[in-house]
């Protein structure tokens, strides 16, 4: 924080930050993203959720449900790993909102207001830095699956594309939690609201069990659940190297989320910044 402030000379006229050009905005965004990476390096325990959770969830669900659902663990992994991947990375996006709220509560953003930087940079930089968390979670999930015997038939290229799809969708969803972070009163309330939304969406989907084994009313919800479409898209890519309708539906859903929540978040943030 001190180093960042030292590299930018404060000015008296705050209006300069309100009319920053695209180039300056991008530069400031990358600077703030770097701040987020430095913050992670100094407090690596922030990565516990993206390093420990994929390992625990993969082991737990594989050995709990593998025999009951697929007959054995090896047969269950092609369906499980994409589900674990989507749940882990999307759940990680909650951190965006909670850390944003913590920074605002601690007065960090008030300090940024006195600097001649684009006012949107602290927000956009935080969102950009969190993509590293998604990348770590994605990599560890596939590595854990490989160790347990999962070998995606789609090949490395399809696996990379599947990972990028999940990262892109999670980044889009992080705008929702960023909005919660701006309007909520405490970081704990952001986390509570976010988990209340995410847990039904991730578990009431096709991530862990076949939809046709569910009661009719629950199967209906799972079929329209956007998480189910994303999981199916990842499975088709990783296991079959196929880009189907669920792939394009997931991208469309991500675009719609950004189109709705990015303006809402920016507007709410500007009012407080």
Give the whole-angstrom CA distance, residue 89 versus residue 137: 6
Nearest of 150, 93, 154, 114 to residue 13 by alpha carbon: 114
Alpha-carbon span 193 to 185, nearest angstrom: 12
Q: pLDDT digits over 216-234, tens only?
A: 999 999 999 999 999 999 9
10: confidence class by pLDDT, cuts 50, 70, 90: very low
Q: CA 79, CA 82: separation in Å to the nearest integer?
A: 6
For residue 273, what pLDDT band results from cuts at 50, 70 and 90? low
Instruction: Identify which has the larger pLDDT, 169 or 27.
Output: 169
- What does the alpha-carbon distance between residue 33 and residue 18 come to, in Å, rounded to a whole number? 19
**Contacts (Cβ under 8 Å, ≥6 apart) of 197:** none
The pLDDT of residue 4 is 46
User: Residue 42: what pLDDT?
Assistant: 73
- Residue for token digits 């590299």? 7
pLDDT in tens, 98-151: 888 887 887 777 777 777 777 777 888 888 888 888 898 899 999 999 999 999
pLDDT band (50, 70, 90) for residue 8: very low
Q: Would you say 222 and 232 are in contact if contact means Cβ atoms under 8 Å apart?
A: no
Which two tokens mark 198? 């995410």
Confidence (pLDDT) at 19: 52
pLDDT at 236: 95
Please tell me the distance from the alpha carbon of residue 222 to that of residue 227, in angstroms, as a whole number.
Answer: 8
List pLDDT tens digits, range 55-91.
898 999 999 888 888 888 999 999 999 999 999 899 8
Contacts of 183 (CB under 8 A, 6+ apart): 268
pLDDT in tens, 178-231: 899 888 888 888 888 888 888 888 889 999 989 988 899 999 999 999 999 999
Tokens of 226: 């956007």
Cβ count near 186 (within 10 Å): 12
Residue 1 scores a pLDDT above 80 = no
Average pLDDT over residues 39-43: 73
Band (14; pLDDT cuts 50, 70, 90): very low
Q: Are 243 and 91 a contacting pair, CB within 8 Å?
A: no
The tokens describing 159, both together, are: 């696996």
Residues ≥6 apart with Cβ < 8 Å to 234 = 82, 85, 86, 162, 165, 166
């Amino acid at each position: 924080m001190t180093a960042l402030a030292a590299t930018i000379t404060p000015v008296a006229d705050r209006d300069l930050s309100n009319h920053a050009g695209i180039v300056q905005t991008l530069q400031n965004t990358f600077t703030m993203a770097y701040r987020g990476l430095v913050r992670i390096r100094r407090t690596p325990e922030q990565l516990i959720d993206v390093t420990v959770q994929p390992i625990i969830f993969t082991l737990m669900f594989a050995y709990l449900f593998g025999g009951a659902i697929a007959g054995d663990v090896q047969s269950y992994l092609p369906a499980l790993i994409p589900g674990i991947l989507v749940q882990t990375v999307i759940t990680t996006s909650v951190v965006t909102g909670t850390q944003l709220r913590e920074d605002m509560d601690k007065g960090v953003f008030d300090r940024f207001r006195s600097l001649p930087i684009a006012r949107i940079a602290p927000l956009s930089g935080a969102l950009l830095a969190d993509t590293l968390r998604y990348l770590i979670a994605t990599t560890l999930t596939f590595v854990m699956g490989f160790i347990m015997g999962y070998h995606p038939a789609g090949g490395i290229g399809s696996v990379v594309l599947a990972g990028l799809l999940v990262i892109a969708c999670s980044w889009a969803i992080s705008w929702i939690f960023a909005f919660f972070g701006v309007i909520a009163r405490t970081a704990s309330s952001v986390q509570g609201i976010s988990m209340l939304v995410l847990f039904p969406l991730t578990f009431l989907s096709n991530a862990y069990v076949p939809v046709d084994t569910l009661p009719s009313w629950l199967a209906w919800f799972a079929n329209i659940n956007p998480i189910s479409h994303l999981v199916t898209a990842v499975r088709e890519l990783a296991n079959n190297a196929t880009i189907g309708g669920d792939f394009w539906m997931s991208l469309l859903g991500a675009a719609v989320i950004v189109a709705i929540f990015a303006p809402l978040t920016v507007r709410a943030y500007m009012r407080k910044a």
